[in-house]
């Protein structure tokens, strides 16, 4: 059978001679996003399972969580880096996931753009806020009296 005995798919359609899908972008962003979801997902399993184990399973679990508990953790650079990595990776992973869902279900251009703008603004605010909190946190705030960690100087 010769190679041109069967017409190429869609060669007689309105989109002939080439099937045009999305030619707006030739960037590799979607490929990068796909890979990022898998890589960040694996790291997030370690970070979040560790977070849940230390905060909910050890000692008194959720009942032990108060200001002093957080202060005790964030006085250690290990947990600062842990939580910062978890914050950034989780927000970026979740934002990209919700972006995919919006692209799938919001069919009108205006709706899609509006929803994605809200998503990006919310994500940016949360990432900036969380980063500032981790880095500017004071475990012994002046004037505070309750729930302080034991290493704070007695007022």
What is the contact surface with another protein in residues (CB under 8 A)?
38, 41-42, 44-45, 48-49, 52, 56-57, 60-63, 65-68, 70-71, 87, 90-91, 94-95, 97-98, 101, 122, 126, 129-130, 132-133, 136-137, 141, 144, 146-148
Comparison of 18 and 66: residue with beta carbon closer to another protein: 66
Comparison of 15 and 141: residue with beta carbon closer to another protein: 141
Shortest distance (Å) from residue 62 CB to another protein: 6
Distance separating alpha carbons of residues 88 and 122, to the nearest angstrom: 13
Is the CB of residue 142 less than 8 Å from the CB of residue 122? no
Is the CB of residue 85 less than 8 Å from the CB of residue 43? yes
Shortest distance (Å) from residue 32 CB to another protein: 15
Distance separating alpha carbons of residues 135 and 81, to the nearest angstrom: 10
Comparison of 8 and 46: residue with beta carbon closer to another protein: 46
Comparison of 4 and 60: residue with beta carbon closer to another protein: 60
Shortest distance (Å) from residue 9 CB to another protein: 24
Residue 37 CB partners (closer than 8 Å, separation 6+)? 93, 96, 97
Shortest distance (Å) from residue 6 CB to another protein: 28
Distance between alpha carbon 60 and the CA centroid of its chain, in Å?
29
Q: What is the number of alpha carbons within 13 Å of residue 50 lying toward its C-beta?
A: 12
């Amino acid at each position: 059978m010769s190679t041109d005995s069967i017409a190429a798919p869609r060669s007689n359609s309105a989109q002939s001679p080439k099937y045009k899908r999305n030619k707006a972008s030739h960037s590799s962003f979607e490929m990068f996003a796909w890979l990022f979801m898998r890589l960040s997902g694996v790291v997030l399993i370690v970070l979040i399972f560790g977070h849940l184990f230390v905060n909910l399973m050890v000692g008194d679990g959720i009942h032990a969580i108060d200001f002093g508990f957080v202060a005790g953790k964030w006085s250690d650079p290990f947990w600062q880096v842990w939580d910062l990595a978890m914050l950034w990776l989780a927000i970026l992973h979740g934002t990209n996931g919700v972006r995919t869902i919006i692209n799938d279900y919001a069919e009108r251009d205006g709706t899609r753009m509006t929803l994605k703008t809200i998503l990006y603004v919310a994500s940016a605010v949360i990432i900036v806020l969380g980063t500032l909190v981790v880095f500017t946190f004071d475990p012994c705030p002046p004037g505070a009296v309750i729930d302080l960690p034991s290493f704070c100087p007695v007022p």
